[in-house]
């Protein structure tokens, strides 16, 4: 535990000391950083936000009114002009240019209109798969084996040799949960075939075909909005209001105190308390509720729930609890996978002795699916199935993303930019402690908390009016999900604007 917290502390201290000598507070938070000559081109010539109207402006508001006449659109906040947007900068319907630190809810790995991705789409050999979308589980294209090997399998988490593509993050988590239950019951059968009694009772939603099992999740988690996943999602009550859900165990996720180096013993005790409750829930659901925990699902960083972190020690201990109880461990990397933490997979920083059973992905991959260790997939056909089973055209987009990551060494860019961003946030929270606190992050996957929800909402609004796109998370936090091409200079632009806003609010 101390070792894993030490690693987190070292990262935090590095962020404070990396460029401390060059901070200039007279004009804001300015840090001397490495520049990358390729970024001007990728940003389409944009160098800073340009605000012409309020945000959203009149054109966005009119589009929202028109859309609302026939479509559910209560969550829409802005209309983007995707043809004019480029790299780290989004252009909206009113011509405002925003430095986008949210990148379509963290789903754009390379920002807008990346030339390599556009070229991969323009390739005429890909047109047929865009025009006639293949049903991958029935008649996949002849190129799919080669393409999967060069994309998804080339970046598979260590120790995981199996994959299946899906449509989105929710699809991936839903089917990972099904795989975990199937795997668990296959172990219970101990090599015996499925019985007619199981099949007949399954048709009636009854055991033994539909067994009494449970899956354990954590307070504050978000895994999706499908009916099954709502039983595992606990970030916002409104997400599942009026929806029947399963009575499955919910363990507390650690609430760490920041800065980490000041609360080593308190955070250690907090994580231990949470692990003890996980053990208690395993016992309760097995012995008292007769619904054994067959799977545990967890995010490396609880993103929607407030960007909550835990130590490598916590995750290692959780895996050992799963192994002891014969439960599958599912790591939901929908938000964290793809490089935002400075690694392809956030969970690989934990140094687990064995790989998890299942890892899910989506967002920055522009594709979605599941990775699995051997023996996790069922032998029978159609148990994990739908018409499209993903979209092979997105593999061409992913191919461009992976090539750009390798060519430009983007994980190092993420680490450098993340240091600048967190260093600046630490400095600002020291200057404005009545407004913000608890800066935290890994790579550019970072956040800070406001003193309350009202302050958080006001901050997001004021920052947006100055041409910066960020997103909320939890009850009172602001999160950053920039593209992998987000540079230290972009972090400095944001930090100076945040400084101006905090200065205004602190008067």
- For residue range 251-309, list pLDDT tens digits in order: 999 999 999 999 999 999 999 999 999 999 999 999 999 999 999 999 999 999 999 99
**Residue-level pLDDT at 120:** 86
Residue 166 CA to residue 163 CA, distance in Å, equals: 10
Paired tokens of 388: 């499209």
User: Per-residue pLDDT for 134 more than 90?
Assistant: yes
Active site residue 257: no
Residue 306 CA to residue 341 CA, distance in Å, equals: 16
**Residue-level pLDDT at 5:** 52
**Residue-level pLDDT at 28:** 44
Contacts of 206 (CB under 8 A, 6+ apart): none
What DSSP element (H or E) covers 469?
strand 468-469
**322 beta partners:** none
Residue tagged active-site, from 332, 391, 476, 499: 332
pTM: 0.93
In angstroms, how far is the first alpha carbon of the chain from the final one?
Answer: 42
Active site residue 33: no
303-326 pLDDT per residue, tens: 999 999 999 999 999 999 999 999
Residue 106 CA to residue 487 CA, distance in Å, equals: 16
**Residue-level pLDDT at 126:** 77
Q: Are 453 and 476 in contact (CB under 8 A)?
A: yes
SS3 115: helix
Q: What's the Cα-to-Cα distance from 394 to each of 370, 386, 405, rounded to whole Å?
A: 15, 17, 16
**Residue-level pLDDT at 129:** 82
Q: What's the Cα-to-Cα distance from 298 to each of 19, 358, 442, rounded to whole Å?
A: 35, 11, 17
Q: Are 11 and 341 in contact (CB under 8 A)?
A: no
Q: What's the Cα-to-Cα distance from 279 to each of 141, 250, 293, 427, rounded to whole Å?
A: 46, 12, 11, 39
**DSSP per-residue letters across 329-369:** EEEE-TTTTTTTTSSS-GGGGG--SS--SEEEE-GGGSSEE
154-174 pLDDT per residue, tens: 999 999 999 999 999 999 999
225-250 pLDDT per residue, tens: 999 999 999 999 999 999 999 999 99
Confidence at 11, pLDDT banded by 50, 70, 90: very low
SS3 250: strand
Q: What's the Cα-to-Cα distance from 379 to each of 177, 191, 390, 500, rounded to whole Å?
A: 17, 12, 21, 60
What DSSP element (H or E) covers 471?
strand 471-473
Paired tokens of 240: 């599942």
SS3 87: strand
Q: Which backbone phi and psi does 442 adopt, to 5 degrees?
A: -135, 120
Residue tagged active-site, from 46, 181, 222, 361: 222
What residue has token string 């019951």?
185
Mean of per-residue pLDDT scores for the chain: 92
Q: Name the residue among 366, 378, 345, 363 with its Cα closest to residue 224.
A: 363
What is the strand order of the sheet 97-100 is part of?
89-91, 97-100, 468-469
Residue tagged active-site, from 268, 363, 364, 489: 363
Residue tagged active-site, from 387, 407, 409, 452: 387
Active site residue 332: yes
Average pLDDT over residues 197-221: 98
3-state helix, strand, coil in the chain (%, to 5): 45, 15, 45
Q: Name the residue among 404, 394, 369 with its Cα closest to residue 110.
A: 404
347-368 pLDDT per residue, tens: 999 999 999 999 999 999 999 9
């Amino acid at each position: 535990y101390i070792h894993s917290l030490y690693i987190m502390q070292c990262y935090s201290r590095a962020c404070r000391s990396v460029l401390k000598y060059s901070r200039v507070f007279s004009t804001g938070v300015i840090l001397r950083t490495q520049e990358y000559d390729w970024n001007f081109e990728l940003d389409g010539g944009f160098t800073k936000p340009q605000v012409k109207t309020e945000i959203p402006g009149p054109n966005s508001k009119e589009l929202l009114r028109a859309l609302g006449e026939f479509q559910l659109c209560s969550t829409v906040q802005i209309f983007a002009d995707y043809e004019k947007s480029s790299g780290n900068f989004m252009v909206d319907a009113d011509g405002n240019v925003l430095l986008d630190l949210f990148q379509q809810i963290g789903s754009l790995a390379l920002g807008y209109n990346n030339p390599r991705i556009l070229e991969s789409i323009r390739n005429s050999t890909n047109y047929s798969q865009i025009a006639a979308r293949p049903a991958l589980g029935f008649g996949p294209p002849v190129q799919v084996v080669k393409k999967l090997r060069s994309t998804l399998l080339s970046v598979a988490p260590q120790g995981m040799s199996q994959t299946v593509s899906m449509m989105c993050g929710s699809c991936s988590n839903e089917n990972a949960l099904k795989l975990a239950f199937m795997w668990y019951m296959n172990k219970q059968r101990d090599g015996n075939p499925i019985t007619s009694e199981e099949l007949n009772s399954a048709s009636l939603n009854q055991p033994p075909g539909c067994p009494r099992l449970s899956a354990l999740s954590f307070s504050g988690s978000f895994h999706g909005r499908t009916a099954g996943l709502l039983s595992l999602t606990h970030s916002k009550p409104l997400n599942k209001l009026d929806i029947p859900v399963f009575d499955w165990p919910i363990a507390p996720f650690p609430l760490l105190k920041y800065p980490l180096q000041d609360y080593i013993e308190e955070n250690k005790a907090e994580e231990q308390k949470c692990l003890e409750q996980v053990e208690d829930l395993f016992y309760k659901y097995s012995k008292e509720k007769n619904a054994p925990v067959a799977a545990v699902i967890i995010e490396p960083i609880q993103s929607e729930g407030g960007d909550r972190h835990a130590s490598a020690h916590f995750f290692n201990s959780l895996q050992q609890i799963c192994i002891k109880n014969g439960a599958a461990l599912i790591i939901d990397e929908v938000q964290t996978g793809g490089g935002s933490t400075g690694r392809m997979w956030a969970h690989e920083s934990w140094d687990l002795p064995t790989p998890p059973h299942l890892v899910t992905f989506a967002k920055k991959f522009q594709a979605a699916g599941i990775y699995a260790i051997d023996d996790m997939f069922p032998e029978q056909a159609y148990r994990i199935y739908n018409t499209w089973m993903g979209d092979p055209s997105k593999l061409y987009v992913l191919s461009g993303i992976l090539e750009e990551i390798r060519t430009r060494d983007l994980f190092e860019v993420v680490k450098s930019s993340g240091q600048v961003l967190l260093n600046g946030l630490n400095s600002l929270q020291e200057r404005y402690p009545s407004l913000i606190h608890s800066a935290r992050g890994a790579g550019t996957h970072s956040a800070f908390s406001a003193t309350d929800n009202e302050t958080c909402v006001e901050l997001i609004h004021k920052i947006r009016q100055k041409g910066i796109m960020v997103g909320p998370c939890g009850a009172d936090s602001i999160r950053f999900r920039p593209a992998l091409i987000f540079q230290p200079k972009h972090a400095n632009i944001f930090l100076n604007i945040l400084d101006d806003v905090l200065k205004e609010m602190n008067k």
